[in-house]
């Protein structure tokens, strides 16, 4: 796990507007890092910049000691997996075919699927609990199943770092908890897991570290308990946050409108 990934004072511009400003973040292996912030605060942008998918206008994303833009896509894909928010699957690929696509960076142009490819795909399907679906057409799956299959696809590449862009955005509570539990387990296995998410109570329950974004700037970063403070949440989200401790000793937030 020598593959370090850091954002060093990066800014991202789109259409003449700065959507990320001088953001710095160290991605920790074996930890679940949550990226939170209001809509439009730059969560997705930060994630995509970390994946090397969007160019930065200032600063540098450093990957394995070199700027990420100097690595080939193929090299990056072997180590960093990115699960996009768009989970649309229009064509009738089977679940096994979708997951097998994760092996792309490891395979030569005409190389047939090797035993190692099959094993990695199979392990990823089992890991995400979708192995029983592999003969199914992926465009017939439910939202929760589809999200798991896409995570399996990213794990088939055997990455060290997994970046997920709002993986729970369109899921019901049960499936959302399943996905976050899976992310938690991946971190436990030693992956660096970075998740852009909205549910602050889920952050409090599942994440180790939090980066709090406000209008393109990181205004708070550190262990969950340090960043999820009522005052900071009120400033960034514009709501009054009340921290409650339950009988088991975990913290929950209740939110109240300021109006």
Residues of this chain that bind another protein (CB under 8 A): 48, 51, 53, 72-74, 76-78, 80-82, 84, 86, 88-94, 96-98, 101-102, 104-105, 107, 109, 118-119, 121-122, 126, 131, 134-135, 140, 150, 153-154, 157
Radius of gyration of the chain (CA): 19
H helix or E strand, kind and range, residue 184: helix 173-188
Q: Nearer Cβ to another protein, position 76 or 212?
A: 76
Q: Nearer Cβ to another protein, position 150 or 236?
A: 150
Q: Nearer Cβ to another protein, position 53 or 241?
A: 53
Q: What is the DSSP letter of 54?
A: S
CB of 112 to another protein, least distance (A): 11
CB of 109 to another protein, least distance (A): 7
CB of 209 to another protein, least distance (A): 22
Q: Nearer Cβ to another protein, position 172 or 189?
A: 189
Q: What is the DSSP letter of 88?
A: -
Q: Nearer Cβ to another protein, position 70 or 250?
A: 70
Burial profile 72-111: b = 16 or more Cβ within 10 angstroms, e = fewer: eeeebbbbbbbbbeebebeeebebbebbbebbebbeeeee
CB of 97 to another protein, least distance (A): 7
CB of 251 to another protein, least distance (A): 34
**Which residues touch 16 (CB under 8 Å, ≥6 apart)?**
none
Q: Nearer Cβ to another protein, position 98 or 211?
A: 98
First to last CA, the chain: 48
CB of 228 to another protein, least distance (A): 29
Burial class (CB in 10 A: 0-12, 13-18, 19+), 215: middle
**Residue 41 Cα distances to 14, 35, 224, 252, angstroms:** 14, 10, 19, 23
């Amino acid at each position: 796990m020598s593959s370090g990934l850091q954002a060093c004072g990066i800014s991202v511009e789109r259409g003449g507007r700065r959507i990320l400003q001088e953001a710095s973040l160290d991605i920790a292996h074996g930890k679940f890092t949550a990226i939170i912030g209001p809509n439009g605060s730059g969560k997705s942008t930060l994630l995509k910049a970390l994946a090397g998918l969007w160019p930065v206008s200032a600063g540098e994303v450093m990957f394995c000691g070199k700027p990420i833009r100097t690595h080939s896509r193929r090299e990056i894909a072997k180590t960093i997996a990115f699960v996009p928010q768009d989970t649309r699957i229009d064509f009738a690929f089977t679940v096994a075919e979708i997951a097998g696509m994760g092996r792309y960076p490891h395979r030569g142009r005409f190389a047939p699927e090797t035993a190692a490819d099959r094993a990695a795909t199979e392990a990823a399907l089992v890991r995400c609990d979708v192995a029983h679906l592999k003969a199914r057409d992926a465009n017939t799956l439910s939202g929760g199943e589809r999200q798991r299959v896409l995570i399996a696809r990213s794990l088939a590449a055997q990455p060290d770092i997994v970046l997920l862009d709002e993986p729970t955005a369109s899921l019901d509570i049960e499936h959302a908890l399943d996905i976050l539990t899976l992310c938690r387990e991946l971190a436990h296995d030693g992956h660096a897991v970075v998740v852009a998410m909205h549910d602050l109570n889920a952050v409090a329950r599942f994440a180790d570290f939090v980066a709090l974004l406000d209008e393109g700037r990181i205004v708070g970063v550190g262990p969950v308990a340090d960043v999820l403070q009522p005052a900071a949440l009120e400033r960034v989200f514009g709501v009054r946050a009340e921290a409650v401790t339950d009988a088991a000793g975990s913290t929950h937030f209740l939110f109240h409108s300021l109006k």
